[in-house]
Each structure stands twice: as C-alpha cells, then as structure tokens.
Structure 1
Amino acid sequence: MNQTVFAPWDDPGENPLIRFRNVTKRFGEFTAIDDLTLDIYEREFFALLGPSGCGKTTMMRMLAGFESPTEGVIELAGQNIAPVPPNKRAVNMMFQSYALFPHLTVYENIAFGLRRGNMPKNDIDDRVGEMLKLTRLEKFARRKPHQISGGQRQRVALARSLAKAPKLLLLDEPLGALDAKLRQATQFELMDIQEKTGTTFVIVTHDQEEAMTVASRVAVMDEGRVMQVDTPDKIYEAPNSVYVADFIGEVNIVEGKATAVGPSQYEVHWAEGQPPLRAASNKLFSDGQACHLAIRPEKIAITAERPEDAVNAVQGKVHDIAYLGNLSTYHVELPTGKIIKAQTANTRRISRRTFTWEDDVWISWSGTAGVLLDR
C-alpha cells in the first residue's frame, strides 16, 4: 500500500471509522484492556500485534460484539456500538478455524449468510459469483471443504466473510493453519483483496513478519495497553521503547548513561575502560540519564581492521555464526562479555566465510544507526 497516498491518520479532517475511547475491559480481578484509546480509519489494513494474553483478541471480540467494555466507549462510524447486537453490526469476523460447513459446497458456504439475510436469488448468484472471482475459486464452487486445500479453505472463509459487504472485517490469526510458504503467498492475496474491496481489515496476529507485511499501521500491544501505533517502517526504524524495539525483529540493546555533546547528539557511556558511543536522538536526555541504545544487526558492519572513519567502533571476538542462506549473523563477544549481533548479506556464492569462530574483529556503525531510548 502506498503510504504517501494513503495516510488518513495524518489528515486532521479525516474521521476515524473505529474509535476506542478510554476502553477498559475486566474479567473479574483481571484487566484485559487497560484504558485504551485508539483510532482506526476507513480502508486501513490495521494489525493488532502482541504476545499471547496481551489483549488483542479481547479488543477484536468487543468490536464483534461478543464482549462489552467495562468502561469507555467504542464507536463505529460515529455510533456507540455497545447497544448493537453482533448480528446487527456492519462487522464480520473470520476465525482461525475458518468454521466452514463441511456438508455444504464452496458456493453454498459463501451464499449462507446472504440467504439468511433474505437476499433475492438472482442477487445471491451475482454476489457469490463476484466473491468466487475475487478469491479465485470459480473452479471450486461445487466442491466441499474437504475436497480443497487449506489455502483454498482459507479463501472460502474470506469470501463468505466479505459476501455481505461489511464495513469492517475482523481476522483472528487467519493464516495460523497454513505452512510458511503458503502463508507468505496468502498475505499478498489478502492485501490485494483488501485493496480491491476497500473494506477495513483489522487483523490479530502474534507474527511480527505478517503484521509488517500486510498492515498499513501496526499497534504493538502488551498487557492490555497499546505501546506504539505506527506504520511498519516507523515501528521498525523508530521504536518508542525497548519493548517495541525488542518485539519487532532482531535488535541489540546497549545500556548506558547519556551525555549531550551537541544539538540532538549524545555520548553513551556504557562500559568502564571503553570509549563512549555516539548516538543521535530528538528526545531530550539529561546528563547522566540512564538510556538504552537500540541498534539493528544489519546496521552494524564487521571488519578485520578498525575502519578509519567509523563514529562507533568496538573490538570483539566472533563467538557464534548463524548462516541463514541470504544472511549471516555474527555473534560478537565484546571485552565486557556482552554479545552484539552483526548481520551481513550473502550477495555472492562463497566457498568460505570471511570470518570464523574466535576471530578478532571490529564492529562499527554510524552515529545515526542506533535509536536512543529512555525506557
């Protein structure tokens, strides 16, 4: 999705489709959602991302109408949806299990909700035909669910969910049952279908790669709170906390104390007898304030000699190597005992590695490669 064209969250004149306002949900003593305020816009593909038990499924169940907020208000298109029963909401939910009717054909599964809504037969035929075409299932219309593959069943469930043209489609771990390659292909299909229909999708996932691939924006959650809401590139490049930096992708975290050395420029004193590290940050740190420097492994270079112009360079020893085909990750042990991961792309076929275990190496990175965090 082209972020420059599609960014309603940056437009003060745009009204959100969904609004959570100070929503809290308790189950007895347990607080599943803790004073949550969040806006989701029309035509977004919005991802709720977090570990098990962080509250993302509870949020989705409140949108669907299976749970009600203990406090606060949820609005859909400007209306408080609490009094509206699930079957009267312009919302549909697709479950991880797909919940298809095994005795009905693909066609009948897709038509099921339309028939219950008393749609005229000709209109049902047209609408199911549209959905079969959209999900590329025309050839399978007469088959039963057990006669098609997992990926095709997933598309039947999607077609059935979209048949009634909901304003909002909720997807609960929709690709959990698919193998890795099929998941990847299906992620792009989902994005394509979402863009063609213009329906707002909200997906719940604990798979960070999935969230980063499909979503226009991602909400990273922890213990019932939203830690950061942003576009995937900002979540990755500019996390607002150690939790978010650590949850998305691989990261090195160096703890230290910050000292200002210029506008938005800091030195991080991180180890006795080691030169301070340089970092840029728009956040203000007072001198001596505890800080965390987060650096992604792919932003760290690994060399045999100290690079002459390196802003940050530390010597260490290769402790471990993970060869991942397209990448090699070197675990470099510093004199302090800390392990830093540095990643190199394997752009050529190599007969031997540049570095091997126990080699003395230098790791280096620029003054803007890391993100300085205060929590």
Structure 2
Amino acid sequence: MESKPAPAPFAPWEDAAAHPLIRFEGVTKRFGDFTAVSDLNLKIYPREFFALLGPSGCGKTTLMRMLAGFETPTEGTIWLDGQNIAPVPPNKRPVNMMFQSYALFPHLSVWDNIAFGLRRAGKDKETVRARVEEMLRLTRLDQFARRKPHQISGGQRQRVALARSLALGPKLLLLDEPLGALDKKLRQDTQFELMDIQEKTGTTFVIVTHDQEEAMTVASRVAVMDAGRLCQVDTPQHIYETPNSRYVADFIGEVSIIEGRVAALGEEAEIAYAEGARPIVTRTGGAALEPGQSVFYAIRPEKIWVGAAPHPDRINSVEGTIVDIGYLGDVSTYHVRLDTGQMVKALMTNAERYAASRFTWNDRVWLSWSRHAGVVLAS
C-alpha cells in the first residue's frame, strides 16, 4: 500500500503569497498622555490560533478591544479581510468576543443561550435549530441542552460560551482570558478542547492571556508584548528555543541568564563571564557578534545535566553548591550557586522512584551542558 505524503505544516506566515485576515499597520493607541500601543505592525492569518501574551499593562487587551470595536486607534489602520474596520461598529463586524466571565444568561437553558445570537440576527426557526444542534455536538454538550448554567460545571459553562460565540460563524473569535476561572487540571484539559474546536471550525482565534503555558499550548504563533510594543512574534517552539532578547527569554519559562563578553569568535563563540572561570563554549546561532562585545547567555534548566562529576560528553561543565531544591513529582529543580557566585537553575526528570534523593541541600555538584544548549543574546 502506497503511503501518503505528510501534510504540509500550517505556516502561512512563511508564504509570501498568503493574504492575512488581520493587518495592523502603524497602529498607536493613546489614553491621554499614556500610550497603550505604540506604532504596531502585525499580520494574523486565516485559521490561525494566535496568542497575545504579556504582563498586565502591556497593551494586549487594548489590541483585542480595537479588533472588537470597543476602542478606536489613535493612529494607523486595522484591516480585517481587506476592509478598514475603524468606521464599522462592533455589532456589524464579523467578529465575536468571548469574555472570561462567560456572561451566560442564568434564566436561559444551554440550548437557548446558544440560540440567543441567532435569534437576535433574525434567523428562522429551522436554521436556529440546526445550528444550535451542530454547536452542541461540536462542544459535546448534547446531554446538557436543557440545563441552566448553574446546573453544569465551570468547564461546561466555558463550552456553552464558546458555542454561543461560534454559532453565528464569525470570521474571527476573540478570547479574553477564557480559561482564567478554571482550576489548573480543567484548564489544561480545556486547552486541548479549544484547539480541537478551532481546527474543526476553521475560525481564526485570537486569545489574550498572561499564562505562558496556555499560550504555548494552544497557539500556532505567539506575540510577546511589553509596554505597548511587540517584542517577538513567532511559533511557540522558536519563542522558547530562540528568543530574540533577554526580556523574551526571561518572560517565557524558566531560564538562567549569564552576563558576559565574547572572548573568542569563530564557528563557535567563547563567552567569558567571570575572572578565572573557563569560558562557556556555544554555537552563535547566526547572531552577529564581535570580539569583546557584551552579551547575555541564556540557558533553560532542562538543558543542564546534574552530576557528581562532569559529564564526559558535554563541553561545558561548572561546579557549584545546591542552595535550593524544588520537588515537583515528575521533575526536581535545583538552584545551584557556582563558585563564581552565579546562580543557575537545573532540572532533572525523576525517572526512577527515588531519583529525587540523589542530591540534597549543600551538596557539591557539577552542571554540564552542550554547545547547542544555550543561546547568545545581544540585548
């Protein structure tokens, strides 16, 4: 039997011929003297699950509100499917928004909550019935159709709000911290449900969140924001493995950042970080570096091996003392103070039942990692 070729990866942002659904062109939003969004340019493509990620006050919610029509850009243009949406009122845009509170009608059943928007739009009874039944199947709520919101769980209420938001078939669905009210286990399960529903409907989703794990799990691309500007827009893997700045590296996941200078440069670079310490050997990753340049070396804790002696196959090895341990069940995190005074985090998988007891506080250990493990950042 002839095997089928693997489907092409979903990456329209790499296709020069692809047309974005949304374009921000030179968008600035000011509130008095405060600039919430500054000269922002961004493209979001059809069928994307796009995440706006950043701390409170970074501008991500303002971006979403401008897409929804609740705010108007001070400068610049927002295009939706080729149309300048600035003069289009919120209720006339092919956009729906799902809020963290879900905003369900407590006196209406699940069925009637989903049907509400369709009825407001003047759809006939048969169209309403067929569409509601389709949304119930999609969100696996068939058996709860006649219950009221208070009679179902938080995760089910979240799916009702999602079904209601999708019922009118918007081109774009905006999700404002949609899973914030759920506990951790349910939130993790619901993330995958959201991804499945988004893929089945083909609707473009834009999610606003401050939860890094959530953004990295659900999104095809992530925009990391700070102070109204885009710091990096890329796939979750590239954001994590090849951050473009110290801010992005530090904001996404756990990381140790070592400040140093380029001591030698060739196919590989040597980063000197403390007098008398052996330089860190690393691949440059295409970064434009110069000898003597001040840089930051970022390394993730899972890239580091912890042992009683240097690892024989890893080029970088440093000795230090364990000052703190975090036991998380599947993994243990070690905070190690090097003899130079630098603090480094390392993570080891507890593959065996008693693996976590190999080292304890104040133990002397060696940390080892490869030349590929870290990334050199110029800023």
Same fold (TM over 0.5): yes
Change beyond 3 A, Cα 1:59–1:349 = same
Q: How many residues align?
A: 373
2:270 matched to which residue of 1? 267
Which of 36, 39, 52 is matched with 1:35 structurally? 39
2:127 matched to which residue of 1? 123
Gaps of 5+ in 1: none
2:283 matched to which residue of 1? 280
* Alignment check: 8 A CA contact 2:332 2:356 kept: no
The amino acid across from 1:284 in the alignment is A
The amino acid across from 1:53 in the alignment is G
Counterparts of 2:52 and 2:351 in 1: how far apart (Å)? 34
Q: Could you say what the CA RMSD is over the residues aligned between the two structures, in angstroms?
A: 1.2
Q: Which secondary structure state, in structure 1, belongs to the residue aligned with residue 232 of structure 2?
A: strand
The amino acid across from 2:272 in the alignment is H
| Bigger Cα displacement from structure 2, 299-308 vs 340-349 | 299-308
Which of 97, 109, 112 is matched with 1:108 structurally? 112
| Bigger Cα displacement from structure 2, 331-340 vs 243-252 | 331-340
Counterparts of 2:7 and 2:332 in 1: how far apart (Å)? 31
Change beyond 3 A, Cα 1:257–1:31 = same
Counterparts of 1:102 and 1:329 in 2: how far apart (Å)? 45
Change beyond 3 A, Cα 1:216–1:343 = same
Q: Which secondary structure state, in structure 1, belongs to the residue aligned with residue 217 of structure 2?
A: helix
How far did residue 261 of structure 1 move?
Answer: 2.8
* Alignment check: 8 A CA contact 2:265 2:290 kept: no
Change beyond 3 A, Cα 1:77–1:305 = same
Change beyond 3 A, Cα 1:328–1:3 = farther
* Alignment check: 8 A CA contact 2:96 2:172 kept: yes
Change beyond 3 A, Cα 1:351–1:237 = closer
How far did residue 354 of structure 1 move?
Answer: 1.3
Which of 220, 226, 230 is matched with 1:222 structurally? 226
1:139 matched to which residue of 2? 143
How far did residue 353 of structure 1 move?
Answer: 1.3
| Bigger Cα displacement from structure 2, 137-146 vs 72-81 | 137-146
1:148 matched to which residue of 2? 152
Q: Which secondary structure state, in structure 2, belongs to the residue aligned with residue 12 of structure 1?
A: coil
* Alignment check: 8 A CA contact 1:301 1:364 kept: yes
Q: Which secondary structure state, in structure 1, belongs to the residue aligned with residue 357 of structure 2?
A: coil
How far did residue 5 of structure 1 move?
Answer: 2.0
1:80 matched to which residue of 2? 84
Which of 262, 281, 301 is matched with 1:258 structurally? 262
How far did residue 4 of structure 1 move?
Answer: 4.7
Q: Which secondary structure state, in structure 2, belongs to the residue aligned with residue 188 of structure 1?
A: helix
1:201 matched to which residue of 2? 205
The amino acid across from 1:242 in the alignment is R
How far did residue 260 of structure 1 move?
Answer: 3.7
* Alignment check: 8 A CA contact 1:328 1:343 kept: yes
Change beyond 3 A, Cα 1:363–1:5 = same
Deviations 1:200-256 (A, max 9, x none): 000000000000000000000101011000110110100001111111110010000
Which of 176, 186, 189 is matched with 1:185 structurally? 189
Deviations 1:279-321 (A, max 9, x none): 1111111111110000000101111112344311111111111
Q: Which secondary structure state, in structure 1, belongs to the residue aligned with residue 66 of structure 2?
A: helix
1:64 matched to which residue of 2? 68
Counterparts of 2:56 and 2:331 in 1: how far apart (Å)? 29
How far did residue 79 of structure 1 move?
Answer: 0.7
Residue pairs, 1:290-329, within 5 angstroms: 290-329=294-333
Q: Which secondary structure state, in structure 2, belongs to the residue aligned with residue 355 of structure 1?
A: coil
Q: Which secondary structure state, in structure 2, belongs to the residue aligned with residue 21 of structure 1?
A: strand
Q: Which secondary structure state, in structure 1, belongs to the residue aligned with residue 181 of structure 2?
A: coil
How far did residue 82 of structure 1 move?
Answer: 0.3
Which of 171, 176, 180 is matched with 2:180 structurally? 176
The amino acid across from 2:302 in the alignment is E
- Percent identity (aligned): 68
Gaps of 5+ in 2: 1-5
* Alignment check: 8 A CA contact 1:56 1:204 kept: yes
Which of 142, 164, 168 is matched with 1:164 structurally? 168
The amino acid across from 2:141 in the alignment is L
| Bigger Cα displacement from structure 2, 4-13 vs 216-225 | 4-13
* Alignment check: 8 A CA contact 1:16 1:77 kept: yes
Q: Which secondary structure state, in structure 2, belongs to the residue aligned with residue 114 of structure 1?
A: helix
Counterparts of 2:130 and 2:80 in 1: how far apart (Å)? 28
Which of 361, 368, 375 is matched with 2:372 structurally? 368
How far did residue 147 of structure 1 move?
Answer: 1.1
Report the TM-score, using the length of structure 1 for normalisation: 0.97
